[in-house]
Structure 1
Amino acid sequence: MTNHQKRLSVPKSWPVERKEEMFTVKADAGPHGESGVPLLILLRDVLGYVDSRKEARYALNQDSIHINGKAVSDEERPVGMFDIIAFSEREEYYRVFPDEGGRLTLTPLDADSAGSKLGKIEGKRNVPGGDVQLTLHDGQTLLVEDDSDYSVGDSLVVGNEDGDIVAHFEYEEGALATAVAGKHAGQIGTIEEIQVTKSSSPNDVILSAYDGDDTFETVEEYIVTIDENFVDADEEEMNELD
């Protein structure tokens, strides 16, 4: 199986220029599905910390690069939305976040904020023993008590070291949220109305823009609830992945 992919066929969220060269590196199997960006692209093409795959492998062998609290050794490891990337020797920390064009960006963080990551609940089911299993957007699973009030569509902040839930943002009218795909990707606003459809069509969500009086509309699938900490980070200088 080839470890290259044609640039013209990569997902729109990937931070690569499609017409510069014919091929780019292909992501390994892992979290985020087909939208996961190979770590090598971030290290070489975005941050400029390495010039080649060989240099990336050497850097990763030093155990100084972590994703969501775990050291990474595979330069093709997929990285995606809301992942936390830490460079311990440089004392640099980033959150992967979609910009207003839908491309993934790196938002600088402090060390405390880098200790946990955001996840959208996309699945919920009962498991033997009376607990409930939650599945997040990147495939991570969490076990919670049966009487917990977590619902599909809500967001959780999960500690990278212990997997504990440290914050819960409900998907409801009045909640702060961001669109992560579609033509409004990267926009942040307050949910004004959730329009539930009676057909198989997705529900629509109307939001009032956080930074103005305008409103925008997108489908429920593209909405992730957040809090003001994400707005503050988004207003700081962001390193675009291109």
Structure 2
Amino acid sequence: MTKHQKRLSVPKSWPVERKTETFTVKAGAGPHGQAGVPLVVLLRDVLGYVDSKKEARYAIERSSVLVNGDSPSDEQRPIGMFDILSFPERDEYYRVFPDEGGRLALTAIDEDAAGSKLAKIEDKTQVAGERTQLNFHDGGNLLVDDASEYDAKDSVVVSNDDNEIVAHFPYEEGCLVTAVRGTHAGDVGEVTDIEVTPGSGSNGVIVEGEDGTFETVEEYVVVIDENFTGDDAEASGGDAE
């Protein structure tokens, strides 16, 4: 199996230039599925902190870069939406946040904000011991004793240290969301109406943003709060050279 990925066929969320070279690094096994961007691509092509996979591997071995508070297993570890990248030696911290067009960008955050991660609840599963498993957008999950207050499409903030939920944002009219896919990817606004579609079709969502009202589907939005918009921080991202 090839260890490389053709740039022309990478997911639209990857922040790489598609026409400058033929290949880029292929993502390894891990969270976020095929949409996950290899860590080395962010370190080399977006941030410019390393020049090669070898340098990226060295930085990982020295714990110079952490992902969600932990040392990643290798330089091809997939990085995706809402992951936290920390560079303790540089005192730099970033949240992976959807940018215009759905590309993933790095939004600078402070050290306190880097201690937890936002996760969208995809669904709930009953497990042994009368506990409930919350299944998240990135493939992760969390066991809770009482899941009655949590619903699919809600968002939670999970602490990196003890894997405990420290905040909960229900999906409901009036909540703040960001679109992560579709025509309005990267737009932020308040949900003004949820249009329930009969049958198995996707429910529609009307969102009031700074630049006007837009409509999308529930699967394309994630509930956030004002601390996750990155309005007060400098962002990095876009196409990498």
SS at match of 1:41: helix
Take 1:173 and 1:198, find their aligned partners in 2: how far apart are those partners?
19
1:198-209 alignment runs, 5 A limit: 198-209=198-209
Determine which of 224, 233, 236 is the counterpart of 1:236. 233
Give the 5 Å matches for 1:136-147.
136-146=136-146
Unaligned runs of 5+ residues in structure 2 are none
CA contact (8 A) 1:107 1:239 kept: yes
| Secondary structure of the structure 2 residue equivalent to 1:105 | strand
Distance 2:232 2:181 in 1: 19
- Per the TM alignment, residue 57 of structure 1 is displaced from its structure 2 partner at its CA by 1.2
Q: Counterparts of 1:107 and 1:221 in 2: how far apart (Å)? A: 23
Letter of the 2:32 counterpart: H
Partner of 1:42: 42
Letter in 1 for 2:95: R
CA contact (8 A) 2:109 2:233 kept: no
> Partners in 1 of 2:32 and 2:140 — Cα distance?
10
Pairing partner for 1:226 from 209, 224, 238:
224
Give the match for residue 7 of structure 1: 7
CA deviations 1:175-223 (Å, max 9, x no partner) are 11110111101111100111111132211100111x24x1001111011
The answer (yes or no) to whether the contact 1:100–1:185 under 8 Å persists in 2 is: yes
Q: Is the contact made by 2:60 and 2:75 (CA closer than 8 Å) also made in structure 1?
A: yes
Map of 1:40-189 to 2, 5 A cutoff?
Answer: 40-146=40-146, 148-189=148-189
How big is the shift at 1:149? 0.7
Give the TM-score normalised by the residue count of structure 2.
0.96
Deviation per CA, 1:45-76: give whole Å up to 9, x if none: 11000111111111111112110010124010
Q: Identify unmatched segments of 5+ residues in structure 1.
A: none
- Structure 1 ranges of 4+ moved more than 3 A: none
Contact 1:107 1:234 in 2 (8 A): no
Instruction: Give the match's secondary structure for 1:174.
Output: coil
Which deviates further from its counterpart, 57-66 or 117-126? 57-66
For 1:227 and 1:59, the matched residues in 2 are separated by 33
RMSD across aligned positions (CA): 1.1
> Could you tell me how far apart the structure 1 residues matched to 2:44 and 2:99 are?
20
Percent pairwise identity: 64
Give 1:237's aligned amino acid: E
d(CA) in 2 for partners of 1:147, 1:76: 34
SS of residue in 2 equivalent to 1:120: strand
User: Is 1:29 paired with 2:29?
Assistant: yes
- Using the size of structure 1 for normalisation, the TM-score is 0.96
SS of residue paired to 1:234: coil
AA at the equivalent of 1:216: F
The one-letter amino acid paired with 2:113 is S
Counterpart amino acid of 2:22?
M
* Distance of 1:114 and 1:5 partners within structure 2: 30
3-state secondary structure, aligned to 1:110? coil
Q: How many residues align?
A: 239
Q: Give the conservation status (yes or no) of the 8 Å contact 1:38–1:77.
A: yes
The AA in structure 2 aligned to 1:181 is: R
Deviations along 1:90-139, one digit per CA (max 9) or x if unpaired, are 11100000111211000001000000000000020111111111011011
**Alpha-carbon distance in 1 for matches of 2:96, 2:61:** 23
